[in-house]
Amino acid sequence: MSATTGGLKSKLRETLKQEDAALAERGRAVAKPDAEKRADAPALDTAPPGEADRLDKHEKVERDSFSMPAREHKRIKALREALGKEGVLVSKSELLRAGLALLAARDTGEIARLVAALPTVEKGKRKKR
């Protein structure tokens, strides 16, 4: 590994730590009272027994790729810009994670209806160059 690659990884780790701290602070600022939480909604922040500390400090980050229509991708950009005007800077990843949190508060039947109403998107990988 070259010195440049090592330096980039260190900077990336530091950036991720700063993002985690900012997310934790935001979470405390917008925490819902227990009365508003649905008892039947699965908690997104639960972990297998013995891993509670690991989630806070060193949870593995999974990378993934997916396809979506350009129109929906533009909606993500528009949401980011609208939040930016409110002084809240978010990444695409944070928006998708927030969407998951909102979906977790819905019942499965409602989510199934939402998914069924989505247009189908061609699945596949990018063409090799």
> pLDDT tens digit string along 108-117?
999 999 999 9
Q: Which has more pLDDT, 35 or 102?
A: 102
Q: For residue 95, which of 68, 119, 118, 120 has the smallest C-alpha distance?
A: 68
pLDDT digits (tens, 9 = 90+) for 45-77: 544 444 554 456 678 888 888 888 889 999 999
pLDDT over 70 at 43, yes or no: no
Q: Are 46 and 106 in contact (CB under 8 A)?
A: no
Alpha helix (H) ranges present in 86-123? 92-104, 108-117
Per-residue CA distances from 71 to 87, 111, 116 (Å): 25, 21, 18
Lowest-pLDDT range, 11-25, 41-55, 67-81? 41-55
Q: Whole-angstrom Cα distance, residue 3 to residue 108?
A: 49
Nearest CA-CA partner of 121 in 79, 72, 76: 72
The full set of domain ranges for the chain reads 91-119
> Above 60 in pLDDT, residue 100?
yes
